[in-house]
Amino acid sequence: MKEISLILNNEPRNVQVENNEILLDVLRNKLGIKSPKCGCERGDCGACTVLLDGKAVRSCLILAVEAENHNIITLEGISREKLSALQEAFIEFNSFQCGYCAPGIILAVTELLEKNPHPSLEEIKESIAGNLCRCTGYTPIFDAIMSLTGRGAK
Amino acid sequence: MSHYGLGTLKKEENMALAHTFDYQRPSTLIEALQLKAKYKDKAHFLAGGTDLIVNIREGMLKPDLLIDIKGISELLKLNWEKETLFIGSNVTFAQLIDNELVQKHFILLHDACKTIGSTGIRARATLTGNICSAVPSLDSAPALLCYEAKVHCASPESQREIPVTEWFLAPRKTALQEDEIVTGISLKRIPDSSGIYLKLGRYSGEDLAQAGWGILMTADKQYRLAHCALSPIPKRAYYIEDLLNNSNPLNADLIEKAIALIPSEINPITDIRATQEFRMYISGIMLKRGLTAIQERISGKYIEPRKLLGDV
């Protein structure tokens, strides 16, 4: 066991971890952060997406010890005071059914919109190509995101 | 109690990888090499970890030590000097995609980087990690083979550069020695050239290649071609290059002749992603569309490679 420090949702946190513990499990089981989900455990599904130093990454493929001294943002971190515009759009367009993929998709698109506030539909598709949704067929998800791009819902 | 008031779970509910190992994060190359020399094949270097962690989780690797190289600043280099781009082994695919030099001078590599995994994978995965995994379907290989990249390796005693054509020995086996680390990959610019990488997956976005073809062309109509996912290791297609480089002009007839040479270039297998017959057949289509599209690309036209294969 070793103690690591990290910045989680803009707050410094310390946590005891083993070398072989995965960041996703430590977030969920030791740090009380339940938005990243365990789906495939091999980087394919995107349900475990978190922002590490601002970039969407797979928390199932990162050791907790690797996150030492890094900055991690989860869904909890982007909706503390009120929901983000993206989250509001997801509600407006009824973009989820089961919601399992939603935290990952919202974080991936949050990164995209920060880098590129007016993405095309193609760019949106590319940014969440690694976030699988098995309920919606993606259409209401694209509609919600497009409504924020200044290009209007498609 | 945890910060969010959700309580702390009992220890047995806390999952971890089944295998245990030591973890070190050296800040210099020499420390990393000393650790590697001590543990030999029981130590693995960890950069992005997108393959390594999966391999440990699935029991394919059982290292005693993981040497995290992300703290070694010299491996983060992405330098342009004497017409040569040096890509340090900590450089991720996301960095390469955003890099202007890669966009401008190494379009074939740029194409390939964009096809790898998904955004979330490319933010961590490194080019060096990709060639060290050395699976037959590795998307970055055709580009590196066409640019005749060099793999820079260091051991505690010495340094050497391995031409990428001599790097891949067998599936998942490379020319890297037990005491060595890859410090980076260098590519020399080929003036007045263009390139294109065609990757066929079962769908666009986040699939491994059923077939991959990289084509490089210079203004004086010299060609280099290489493929992946079509042989035990990625390879240059020298017979087709010889044909194209010693004939002109490129017309439908010549393309058919090049397609006829495909069986002597590739040795595909049937697996979960495609059959041997399909890989053989589709290579002809890819070659035809790739050779046609590169004529437009070299004249400056924007071509989206994915669109050439139907974008399903």
CATH of residue A20: 3.10.20.30
Q: Token match 């698109």: residue? A: A109
| Closest chain B residue to A77, measured at CA | B4
Report pLDDT for B178: 94
Tokens of B114: 């964009």
Q: Token match 């759009």: residue? A: A89
Q: Is residue B196 part of a domain?
A: no
Q: What confidence category does residue B248 fall into, taking pLDDT thresholds of 50, 70 and 90?
A: confident
DSSP 3-state assignment of A119?
coil
| b/e code A56-78 from CB counts within 10 Å (16+ = b) | bbbbbbbbbbbbbebebbbbbbb
> Kindly report the CA angle at B66 between B88 and B167, in degrees rounded to 5?
45
Mean pLDDT of B267-279: 94
Note whether A41 and A65 are same-domain residues: yes
| Cα separations in angstroms, A14 against A8, A11, B195 | 10, 10, 49
Q: Is residue B210 part of a domain?
A: no
Domain, as residue range, for B245: 237-305
Tokens of B233: 């290791």
Could you report the per-residue pLDDT of A26-71, keeping only the tens digit for each? 999 999 999 999 999 999 999 999 999 999 999 999 999 999 999 9
Nearest to B240 by CA among B221, B253, B225, B256: B225
Judged by a CB distance cut-off of 8 A, whether residue B272 touches chain A is no
Report pLDDT for B241: 98
Note whether A74 and A90 are same-domain residues: no
Q: Token match 């499990």: residue? A: A25
Mean pLDDT of B157-177: 97
Note whether A116 and A63 are same-domain residues: no
Report pLDDT for A113: 96
- Average pLDDT of every residue of chain B: 93
Domain C-terminal end among A78, A109, A124: A78
Q: What confidence category does residue B205 fall into, taking pLDDT thresholds of 50, 70 and 90?
A: confident
Q: Is residue B258 part of a domain?
A: yes
Note whether B173 and B263 are same-domain residues: no
Q: Is residue B204 part of a domain?
A: no
Determine, for residues A66 and B206 on separate chains, whether the beta-carbon distance falls below 8 Å.
no
Tokens of A71: 């900055």
Torsion of CA B284, B290, B295, B300, to 10 degrees: 170
Could you report the per-residue pLDDT of B34-82, keeping only the tens digit for each? 999 999 999 999 999 999 999 999 999 999 999 999 999 999 999 999 9
Q: What confidence category does residue B8 fall into, taking pLDDT thresholds of 50, 70 and 90?
A: low
Judged by a CB distance cut-off of 8 A, whether residue B8 touches chain A is yes
- Region of B31 please: left (phi>0), alpha (psi -120 to 50) or beta: alpha
Determine, for residues B206 and A21 on separate chains, whether the beta-carbon distance falls below 8 Å.
no
Report pLDDT for B310: 79
Q: Is residue A143 part of a domain?
A: yes
In degrees and rounded to multiples of 5, residue B232 shows phi and psi of -55, -35
CATH code of residue B30:
3.30.43
Report pLDDT for B12: 43
| Closest chain B residue to A21, measured at CA | B16
Q: Report the share of chain B in percent with pLDDT over 70.
A: 95
Q: Is residue B5 part of a domain?
A: no
Note whether B100 and B175 are same-domain residues: yes
Nearest to A54 by CA among B91, B114, B123: B123
C-alpha A63/C-alpha A19 separation (Å) is: 7
Report pLDDT for B282: 96
Report pLDDT for B311: 58
Domain C-terminal end among A78, A97, A129: A78
Note whether A98 and A71 are same-domain residues: no
A21 vs B contacts (CB less than 8 Å): 14, 16-17
In which residue ranges of chain A is pLDDT below 70?
A: 151-154
Q: Say what the ipTM of the complex is.
A: 0.95
Chain B interface, best mutation among A14, A19, A105, by max B CB count within 10 A: A19
- Reported for B238-245, long-range contacts at CB under 8 A and 24+ positions apart, including other chains, are B238/B265, B239/B264, B239/B265, B240/B265, B240/B287, B244/B291, B245/B221
Gap from A95 CA to chain B (nearest CA, Å): 21
| Closest chain B residue to A38, measured at CA | B15
Gap from A152 CA to chain B (nearest CA, Å): 24
Q: Is residue A153 part of a domain?
A: no
C-alpha A138/C-alpha A143 separation (Å) is: 9
Mean pLDDT of B198-212: 87
Domain count, chain B: 3
Domain, as residue range, for A74: 2-78
Look at residue B293 and tell me whether its pLDDT is greater than 90.
yes
Domain C-terminal end among A53, A78, A103: A78
Note whether A26 and A65 are same-domain residues: yes
Note whether A74 and A89 are same-domain residues: no
| Closest chain B residue to A66, measured at CA | B68
Determine, for residues B23 and A61 on separate chains, whether the beta-carbon distance falls below 8 Å.
no
Handedness of CA A102, A108, A114, A116 (dihedral sign): negative
Note whether A9 and A73 are same-domain residues: yes
Judged by a CB distance cut-off of 8 A, whether residue B186 touches chain A is no
